[in-house]
Amino acid sequence: MPEPEETKTDTEAVQEGSGAPDSLSTIEPLLDSRIVRAVREMGFEKLTPIQVQAIPYLLEGEDIIGQAQTGTGKTAAFAIPALQKIDPELKSLQSIILCPTRELAMQAADEIRSIAKYMHGIKVLPVYGGQEIRKQITGLRGTQIIVGTPGRVMDHMRRHTIKLDHVNMVVLDEADEMLDMGFREDMELILGEIPGEHQTALFSATMPKPILDIADKFQKNARLVRVASKELTIPLVSQRYYKVKSQDKDAACIRLLEYYQPKLCLIFCNTKLKVDELAEVLKKAGFQVEGLHGDMSQHLRDVAMGRFRNGSTNILIATDVAARGIDVDDVEVVINYDLPQDNEYYVHRIGRTGRAGKTGRSFTFVSGKEIFRIRQIERFCKTTIEEKKLPGASKVLKAKADKYLNRAWEFHEHEDIELMKSYLQRKLDAEECDILDLAAAMLKMEIGDRGPEIAVDDYVSRSGRFGDRRGRDERDGRRRRGRDDSWEGRRRGG
């Protein structure tokens, strides 16, 4: 294959807004009106640099290599052309999108569904390890777009539960991450099985030789589009991350909320489902919580935002897409329950705190191999994210007690409490009770010494290291294979 032809678009000029064609209206005539309606509702008025360059080529059916350090807008850059090409009447698989992790697959599927909101008959399904295979097999019927991890896509290929005859577009999203995680063989096997004429789009933040080798082998006259990183600034935010097993994130979230007791807190999740699930968990734990995501009506979203702005709800849980347009100055804490899909999203998330000269805090949960994403974010942002251990149960209890006692002290300074004092003295005399014992009992009745979240201390490392992976890849829900256990080998064996 000849060297990829680089686009002539001046990326720096695009980013600086020097008259570059970055308005959505520039590609609107090329798109289904239902796609335009959906993306406008999602807040897309201007195209990002990667969208400016990639979408026209993909709409023309050309292969592309998209190199974007920030990654911002990559999903829409391939989702819009993929949806434009889908035949809703054909209930067969037409597009395959490969992502390195289940979290990214779920988030990308969510965004594609949002863009396809008004396109009836379009079915999008995320497929990944850790989910019951039979449920996925049932869900695959009539699906036109799958967004999946390489391992689970190969599993379905081996089972013949996906048919590749009508696939016209394949996307490798975060190709360098898939490479780093050992998925090269998987990627090549999948690409090699796609029959007939099809389009291949490869997106990667970096371009190591193995990525270029894959492009050379599986793409035809690919267009190379490059996007330079904008200079992004981190506000006055203390940035920390916590190693937390996936199943313990809820407890960790409760622990941090009880310890820091923020006036206003934003929590970011990557999927609508997780927003709803976490909101329910926190409500049961006694917090005032609102969720915000694309499946909610505009009225419900307005109500949730209104309650957050006026302080009647102090915790808002949102997806990145739904959080666009949130402009509240007094957010004290941002929690990244899930790591963001793109590095620039991290900057936008934590930029919601530390505003107007105030300091803020950001807390990020990291599970398993996600630690390499923290290093990527640090390099991208030119910042340091400090590893911390979750506050222990005794520290949380002390913080809650301090807050309650401070409130009581302020009340005593501004209110007439003489009648209460006389009643209390009579009670103490009658019962021969020590005042400290009584105060401690009242304090415990108010703040408790709650149970479930206290177990969080145990999960960081019982064995002197983080977690117990037992040889499984936590990102893909499957055991990493040796050379003799390839899908091709299993297929030959029966």
Task: Give the model confidence (pLDDT) of 305-330 as tens digits.
Answer: 889 988 899 999 999 877 765 768 78
pLDDT > 90: percent of the chain = 45
CATH code that applies to domain 237-391: 3.40.50.300
What mean pLDDT is reported for the chain?
80
Q: If DSSP codes are grouped into helix, strand and coil, which group holds residue 128?
A: coil
Contact call for residues 137 and 159 (beta carbons, < 8 A): yes
* The pLDDT of residue 454 is above 50: no
Mean pLDDT of 91-99: 97
Rounded Cα–Cα distance for residues 211 and 184 (Å): 9
Strands (E), 186-255: 199-204, 223-227, 237-243
Confidence (pLDDT) at 369: 82
- Output the CA–CA distances (angstroms, integers) from residue 63 to 212, 217, 219, 221, in the order listed: 13, 12, 6, 7
Considering the chain, tell me which residue range(s) the CATH 3.40.50.300 domain(s) occupy: 5-227, 237-391
> How do residues 24-82 score in pLDDT, each as one tens digit?
777 888 899 999 999 888 877 778 888 889 999 999 999 999 987 544 578 899 999 99
pLDDT > 70: percent of the chain = 80
> How do residues 357-375 score in pLDDT, each as one tens digit?
678 999 999 998 888 899 9
pLDDT band at 22 (very low <50, low <70, confident <90, very high): low
CATH code that applies to domain 5-227: 3.40.50.300
Confidence (pLDDT) at 40: 86
Confidence (pLDDT) at 457: 35
C-alpha gyration radius of the chain: 26
Contact call for residues 4 and 224 (beta carbons, < 8 A): yes
Confidence (pLDDT) at 477: 43
